[in-house]
Amino acid sequence: MTTRTKSTIRRRNRTRFSVKAAAHGRPRLSVFRSGRHIYAQIIADADGKTLAAASSIDEGLKGKSKGNTKDGAAAVGKLIAERASKAGVKEVVFDRGAYLYHGRIKALADAAREAGLSF
């Protein structure tokens, strides 16, 4: 592995460790960002199951907005919040992974908060 990959993995694991420690039984909203798309899923760590998932390549969002823009990330945030409410999840902890809380990550989080998720 390259040094950059190792650094990213270490940063992601450090963030994930602190998020899981602060969760107190709440599921976590995990975000993955690629060059073209953005993905979000709500994970119950106690069970090891995914409760809800959304991405910019879902059928409902595929033609409407691109995943590499803030608008696309906001659409994914609204969609994950809707799917979480259908699954009965109201409170989560936000797992930003190795990414800074800025740009698309922040847009997704803000849209999820506006749509009803609390974190």
Taking residues 39-53, what's their average pLDDT? Answer: 95
CATH code for the domain of 95: 3.30.420.100
% of the chain with per-residue pLDDT over 70: 100
Closest CA to 42 of 9, 68, 70, 81: 81
The answer as to whether 119 is a domain residue is no
Write out pLDDT tens, residues 61-114.
877 778 899 999 999 999 999 999 999 999 999 999 999 999 999 999 999 999
Q: Is residue 24 part of a domain?
A: yes
Q: Where are the alpha helices (DSSP H) in 1-119?
A: 3-23, 70-87, 104-114
Q: How far apart are CA 62 and CA 86, in angstroms?
A: 21
Residue 55 in any domain: the answer is yes
Hey, is 37 helix, strand or coil?
coil
Domain of 86 in residue numbering reads as 3-114
Q: What is the mean pLDDT of residues 12-24?
A: 91
* Total count of domains within the chain: 1
**pTM summary value:** 0.90
Per-residue pLDDT tens over the stretch 53-67 = 999 999 888 777 788
